[in-house]
Amino acid sequence: MSRDINRRELLGRSAAAAVAAGSAVAGATSVRAMEQVAAKAGARAAVPSRRMKLGLVTYNLARDWDLKTIIDRCKEAGIGAVEFRSTHKHGVEPTLSKSERGDVKKRCADGGLVIWGVGSACEYHSPDPAVVTKNIEQTKQFIDLAHDLGAKG
């Protein structure tokens, strides 16, 4: 079941494997070294956190929460980022004015919540070109909204 590969594929795969292996070893070694130096000094190492950080998409769990509830519950649960899906109770939509967008951005920042992105229900698979064009235009509005909110994702 062997397959012949050409020299270009062999070199490419070998280089990719070497980089991946080297990165993993270097990363693990540098973190381990920092931990060992700190332990010898009787201190705790200031190493990068390896803990996974959680975010929330309002699509399921928070679709019926207002903005204050989202911010409060995320803070309580240690959730650091949110993606606002459209048509939910929070009201974060392209129809918000510039000042309302600024208010959402400030309230989230003050609550320690990063706005990761905004999600729409735009679809591009309709056989009707007018529907696709409408969705493309709406997508542009969501891009502007994400920009104004300072979305990171």
pLDDT of 116:
97
Banded pLDDT at 123 (limits 50, 70, 90):
very high
Q: Compute the C-alpha angle 107/115/66, nearest 5°.
A: 55
pTM of the model: 0.66
pLDDT of 22:
57
Mention every residue, 6+ apart, whose C-beta is less than 8 A from residue 24: none
Quick one: fold of 55-149? TIM Barrel (3.20.20)
Going by their DSSP bridges, the two strands 81-85 and 114-119 should be labelled as parallel
**What are the boundaries of each domain within the chain?**
1-50, 55-149
CA atoms within 13 Å, Cβ hemisphere of 23: 6
Calpha distance 121→134 (Å, rounded): 12
pLDDT of 53:
83
pLDDT tens-digit readout, 20-74: 655 554 555 566 666 666 667 666 555 566 678 899 999 989 999 999 999 999 9
Share of the chain above pLDDT 70, in %: 71
DSSP string, 66-125: -HHHHHHHHHHHT--EEEEETTSTT---TTS-HHHHHHHHHHHHHTT-EEEEEE------
**Three-state helix/strand/coil letters over 25-51:** HHHHHHHHHHHHHHHHCCCCCCCCCCC
Whether 64 and 88 have beta carbons less than 8 Å apart is answered as yes
Q: Read off the DSSP letter of residue 55.
A: E
Structure tokens at 84: 């606002």
pLDDT of 19:
61
Banded pLDDT at 15 (limits 50, 70, 90):
low
89: buried, middle or exposed (CB in 10 Å: 19+, 13-18, 0-12)? Answer: middle
The mean of the pLDDT values for the chain is 85
